[in-house]
């Protein structure tokens, strides 16, 4: 009926399931990410929405704001996935029991679902509140998917690094910003193209290349980060 998890993938899946099971019982990340995102959203739209940003200004500014909201929400809620393991000392058991690459992928999958859920919730509300019309919704979805992936992957690896240091909160922001900056710039550009409906010279391939690079770097570096 139930067979032993004999594959690496099943191990990663077990980690993923465990993350979500714990998350549903505490709702920490969902609350943090959600509250942070919507608070920022309200602040932004209160200032820019009613004044009616002109289309030209809107196209320049709004994609940046959207990604800033996503970035800061992720920074607020995502590092906990590794920080919590260290602080509640469950990391010892994990170090002895889990295959590092499977652990990384399980955590990455969890981060991905969080980021995608966040993006899916925030973006329509953002577009509505800011009166933003998007010419290529397909490209926007691509930007959010590829950009969100990079955000999750980069943040997961950096979270694993800072979890074993002191002053984790500030350290995460300090370390992740330079790593995520190229991603953000690329994602903003593709988002801007999606808003304008201009597909020429779209930076989506570079974005995907970034995603691939960070994933490979994460898989290769995580064992050294996780284990002594």
Partner 1 sequence: MADGAGRQGYSPPVPTSRLVFQGVRRRFGRLSVLEGVSGEAAPGQVLLVTGPNGSGKSTLLRCLAGLLAPDAGSIEYREDDRPLDTAERRRRVGFVAPDLAFYGELTVRENLAFFARLRRVEPARGLALLDRVGLPAERMAGTLSSGMRQRLRWAWALLHRPRLLLLDEPFQNFDAPGESAVRGLLAEHLADGGMAVVANPSSLDFDHVDTRIDLGR
Partner 2 sequence: MKNLLAWLLWLWISAVIVGAFYYAPLAMGFLGESSRILFFHVPMAWASFLGFIAAAVWSIRYLRSRNPAHDRAAAAAIELGLLFGVLATVTGAVWARIMWGAYWNWDPRQTSILISLLFYGAYLALRGAIDDQDTRGRLSAAYAILGIVVTPFLFWIVPRITYSLHPEPVINAEGKIEMESRMQHVLYASGLGFAALFFWMHDLACRVAALRERKPAP
Residues that bind partner 1 (CB under 8 A): 2-6, 10-11, 14-15, 17-18, 21-22, 25-26, 88-90, 92-99, 102, 223, 227-228
Q: Which does 98 bind (CB under 5 to 8 A by kind): partner 2, partner 1, none?
A: partner 1
**Residue 85 binds partner 2, judged by CB under 8 A:** no
**Residue 196 binds partner 2, judged by CB under 8 A:** no
Q: Give the shortest CB-184-to-partner 2 separation in angstroms.
A: 9
In sequence order, what are the residues at sequence separation of 6 or more whose Cβ sits closer than 8 angstroms to the Cβ of residue 41?
69, 122, 125, 126, 129
**Residue 199 binds partner 2, judged by CB under 8 A:** no
**Residue 144, φ and ψ in degrees, nearest 5:** -65, -40
**Residue 165 binds partner 2, judged by CB under 8 A:** yes
Judged by CB under 8 A, the residue of 94, 125, 171, 219 near partner 2 is: 171
Separation of alpha carbons 91 and 83, rounded Å: 9
**Residue 167 binds partner 2, judged by CB under 8 A:** yes
Q: Give the shortest CB-155-to-partner 1 separation in angstroms.
A: 22
What is the chain's Cα-based Rg? 18
**Residue 186 binds partner 2, judged by CB under 8 A:** yes
What are the C-alpha distances in Å from 224 to residues 30, 83, 156, 160? 29, 17, 15, 11
Query: Of 21 and 166, which CB lies nearer to partner 1 in the complex structure?
Result: 21
Q: Give the shortest CB-91-to-partner 1 separation in angstroms.
A: 9
Residue 148 burial class via C-beta count within 10 angstroms: exposed 0-12, middle 13-18, buried 19 and up: buried
Q: Give the shortest CB-27-to-partner 2 separation in angstroms.
A: 29
Query: Interface with partner 2 by CB under 8 A: which residues?
Result: 154, 157-158, 161-162, 164-167, 171, 174-175, 177-179, 181-183, 185-186, 189, 203, 206, 209-210, 213-214, 217, 221, 224-225, 228
């Amino acid at each position: 009926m139930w067979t032993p998890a004999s594959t690496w993938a099943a191990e990663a899946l077990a980690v993923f399931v465990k993350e979500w099971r714990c998350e549903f019982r505490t709702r920490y990340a969902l609350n943090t990410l959600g509250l942070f995102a919507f608070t920022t959203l309200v602040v932004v739209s209160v200032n820019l929405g009613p004044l009616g940003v002109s289309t030209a200004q809107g196209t320049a500014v709004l994609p940046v704001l959207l990604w800033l909201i996503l970035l800061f929400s992720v920074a607020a809620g995502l590092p906990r996935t590794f920080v919590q393991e260290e602080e509640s000392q469950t990391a010892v058991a994990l170090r002895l029991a889990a295959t590092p690459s499977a652990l990384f992928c399980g955590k990455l999958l969890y981060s991905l679902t969080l980021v995608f859920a966040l993006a899916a919730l925030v973006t329509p509300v953002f577009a509505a509140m800011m009166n933003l019309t998007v010419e290529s919704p397909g490209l926007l979805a691509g930007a959010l998917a590829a950009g969100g992936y990079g955000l999750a992957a980069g943040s997961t690896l950096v979270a694993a690094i800072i979890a074993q240091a002191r002053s984790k909160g500030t350290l995460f922001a300090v370390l992740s910003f330079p790593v995520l900056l190229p991603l953000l710039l690329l994602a903003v550009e593709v988002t801007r193209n999606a808003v304008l409906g201009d597909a020429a010279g779209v930076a989506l391939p570079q974005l995907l290349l970034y995603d691939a690079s960070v994933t490979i770097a994460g898989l290769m570096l995580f064992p050294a980060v996780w284990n002594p």
